[in-house]
Chains A and B, each alone.
Chain A
Amino acid sequence: METALIFQYIIIAALVLFAGYSLFKLIADNFSSKKKKKGEFGCDQDCGH
């Protein structure tokens, strides 16, 4: 196999892993509750920070 092609497959593998992980995180983050940092002003999780 050509080096250029191998290089392209490596990029694609990285992109697919990144996309899969990001989609999983995107769905999971929706359901996780935001933790308030210490000292942060008391506005709630919908606060426009």
Chain B
Amino acid sequence: MQNDPSYKQILLVGNPNVGKSTIFNLLCNKNQKTGNYAGVTVASYSGTYDYQSETVEVIDLPGSYSIYPTSEDEAILSKFLIDEQQKYAGVVYILEALSIKRGLLLFQQIQDLGIPILLVVNQIDQAERRGVNIDLKALSKELGVTVLQSNAKKNEGIEELREEIFKNSFSRAEKASFEVPLEQKGLVFKIFSATKESNQYKIWTLLSSDTYLGKLETVKEQMNDDEVKCLVPKRLQTQETIRRYQNIDKIISRVLSKKPQFKELLTEKLDKVLVHQFWGYLIFGAILLVIFQSVFFLAEYPMNWISDFFLWMSAFVTEQLPAGPLNSLLANGIIPGIGGIMVFAPQIGILLYFLYLLEDSGYMARVIFLMDRFLRPFGLNGKSIVPLVSGTACAIPAIMSTRNIENVKERLITILVTPFMTCSARLPVYSIIIGLIIPNKFFIGISYKALALMAMYFIGFFTSLMASLILKKIIKSKGTSFLVMDLPSYKLPLFGYDFKVVLGKVWEFITGAGKIIFLFSIVIWFFSYIGPKQNEDDFVATDVKLEQSYLAKMGKSIEPAIAPLGYDWKMGVGILTSFVAREVFVGTMSTLYSLDEEAPEGTIIEKMRSDVKPNGEKVYSFATGISILLFYAFAMQCVSTLAVVYRETKSWRWTVVQLFGMSGLAYIASLIAYQILK
């Protein structure tokens, strides 16, 4: 237990998708990612809040159905519960009212470990709507713990939870709910007597677990006993689960009453269509189209305002500061560079907002279900779908979410193919190139641009499928993991809450991408401001024309490698700088076109559109545009993703294979596309 009375650490534990992260966000005022499907949290997250005289640190843990881990994310939970028992004051256990039976299994296991616990029954209103009534007083009496109710989505019950945490209402079970079976009782008691362990159930968990969960040195010696070696851990786990459920059934019969339901619920009605093997896919396609159309049309006005603001800033700085290198750095380097990428913040915000609304409503869980059925022929199934779907927002958390795939080889394949999914960082590149090469026309009310963007998403998706099909042949995996997930009931999304979360994400994008682009724009400006000396006495020439700068010299030196793809030296510089992050391409182009004195006045897109080669051809022709789109669809242009791949695979070999594999594919695809279309 902790020594400082004004500081307390607590754990948030429960089954997957019961609302732990939502409660965590409300308690600590954080914006951690939540979703209406299982497996969103795969790592431990920490946050604090102050209540009356104490500071409480809350650790949000990945969801699990049992104390025995089957995957890396579940192992985090077991590690915390058993190894770190001395550090926290207690466990706040979240139980979903509609799946009370399943939730009580892990609850009782934690209780039997002698851990102080407090129970929160979440979403009780949903259960009532389905005619399920839970007697909370009786439940509290049966389990011997304080029971609270909450509706996290509506911020109900959070203050009461804070109060109970402050009052230390965590309680230990007086008597274990699980009794060690007679056949193993002697062995457990023998180990128990020979060690200093005070909890018999802990010894049982060590026997029943495939790995030494608690890493108890005192028990290790005893575990070499021949009697122990004969045990089959999985069989012990099954034995325990059956006995516990018999006990839980009895509890449920005393605390839960159910009225017969004759009316078909909305969820069932909607699911008949939304997960239909034909209509389901069609509706999903239509939803995607609406989102992509909105990305272009809803964002148009705010994008123009931001663009005008940065143009005004540039002009203002040019006028107000004395002429010189600092003026040029600010007006032609930093401001256009940052402005070039900030313009796309509304589009990213709109895309993420739609994705959050879909997740929040429960529809995303149906998409995962639909995809599972669709992906099986490609050999990518089961739990790989969740990372692929979440990769549409960002590959980094998506790769981390592969931690709930127990099969190591399947996990590796999923990690290697997830970066092909179209993440939001590709959106600025796609948006600007689509804006340059796709006409502003409509086909029965559907914009060509929205169709082109949707095509890019499908290209990313199908490439990840094809890559997995090939990788399955190279990395042979025994057995397959299956996706077992609840289809949550549909809920009206919390529009305001999701909007707040999206604002936070957009701000992260602005500060994250803005920081990199700020740094790059200084470096790019510097090498475009100086050039080879023109007089003997000079060290370097300053304030040179862009074409005579060192940057142009460097860019032109790589031109032979990129010219077959249809790129000029400016695009080459953009590709090199965007190795750090894809969106840097747009910031780089914005800075470069702003530095080009021969470029016409106007926005970045207008300057790019009117740029011509010496022979009068458009620089951004249809062939070049397609070539760039394909390059960014396939190339691994993200250092953070590479780093997370390395961290998750713990292998330089696979990280390098992925980098060169993706970049090689990008080069070949762009080359073929340009050579055919030019």
Across the interface, do B59 and A27 meet the contact criterion of CB distance under 8 Å? no
B234 within 8 A of A: no
B367 within 8 A of A: no
Across the interface, do A49 and B46 meet the contact criterion of CB distance under 8 Å? yes
Across the interface, do A8 and B45 meet the contact criterion of CB distance under 8 Å? no
Task: Write the nearest CB–CB distance from A4 to chain B, whole angstroms.
Answer: 7
Across the interface, do B9 and A16 meet the contact criterion of CB distance under 8 Å? no
Contact of B324 among A4, A15, A23, A44 (CB under 8 A): A4
What 1/0 flags go to B446-463 for Cβ under 8 Å of A?
000000000000000000
What 1/0 flags go to B153-191 for Cβ under 8 Å of A?
000000000000000000000000000000000000000
**Complex contacts, A49 vs chain B, CB 8 Å:** 46
Contact of B523 among A8, A16, A43 (CB under 8 A): A16
**Complex contacts, A16 vs chain B, CB 8 Å:** 522-523, 526
B643 within 8 A of A: yes
Closest to B516 in A: A26
- Interface hit among B75-83, B91-99, B428-436: B75-83
B531-589 residues with Cβ-Cβ distance < 8 A to A are 580
Across the interface, do B30 and A9 meet the contact criterion of CB distance under 8 Å? no
Across the interface, do A30 and B639 meet the contact criterion of CB distance under 8 Å? yes
Across the interface, do B46 and A47 meet the contact criterion of CB distance under 8 Å? yes
Across the interface, do B322 and A19 meet the contact criterion of CB distance under 8 Å? no
Known: A19-B523, A27-B639, A30-B640. A12 touches B83 (CB 8 A): no
A9-43 residues with Cβ-Cβ distance < 8 A to B are 9, 11-12, 15-16, 18-20, 22-23, 26-27, 30-31, 33, 41-43
Closest to B44 in A: A43
Main SS class of interface, A: helix
Closest to B526 in A: A16
B326 within 8 A of A: yes
Across the interface, do A26 and B43 meet the contact criterion of CB distance under 8 Å? no
Across the interface, do A23 and B523 meet the contact criterion of CB distance under 8 Å? yes
Known: A8-B326, A12-B329, A48-B45. A41 touches B59 (CB 8 A): yes
Interface size, B (range): 35 or more
Report the Cα distance A9→B45, complex, angstroms: 45
**Complex contacts, B84 vs chain A, CB 8 Å:** 41-42
Task: Write the nearest CB–CB distance from B13 to chain A, whole angstroms.
Answer: 14
Closest to B59 in A: A43
B325 within 8 A of A: yes
Highest count of chain B CB atoms <10 Å: which of A11, A16, A43:
A43
Report the Cα distance A31→B580, complex, angstroms: 13
B520 within 8 A of A: yes
Across the interface, do A41 and B87 meet the contact criterion of CB distance under 8 Å? yes
Report the Cα distance A20→B520, complex, angstroms: 8
Task: Write the nearest CB–CB distance from B63 to chain A, whole angstroms.
Answer: 16
What 1/0 flags go to B56-100 for Cβ under 8 Å of A?
010100000000000000001001100110010000000000000
Report the Cα distance A45→B518, complex, angstroms: 27
Task: Write the nearest CB–CB distance from A27 to chain B, whole angstroms.
Answer: 5
Across the interface, do B9 and A47 meet the contact criterion of CB distance under 8 Å? no
Across the interface, do A42 and B519 meet the contact criterion of CB distance under 8 Å? no
Across the interface, do B326 and A41 meet the contact criterion of CB distance under 8 Å? no
* Top-4 shortest CB links A-B: A30-B643, A43-B44, A46-B43, A19-B522
Q: Which residues of B contact A (CB under 8 A)?
A: 9, 30, 32, 43-47, 57, 59, 76, 79-80, 83-84, 87, 322, 324-326, 329, 400, 515-516, 518-520, 522-523, 526, 580, 639-640, 642-643, 646-647
| Sample of 8 more A-B contacts, CB < 8 Å, known A15-B522, A41-B59, A48-B32 | A11-B326, A12-B526, A20-B523, A26-B516, A26-B639, A27-B639, A31-B643, A41-B46
A-B contact pairs, 20 of them (CB 8 A): A4-B324, A5-B325, A8-B324, A12-B526, A16-B526, A19-B522, A20-B523, A22-B519, A23-B580, A26-B519, A30-B640, A33-B647, A41-B9, A41-B87, A42-B79, A44-B43, A46-B44, A46-B45, A47-B44, A47-B45
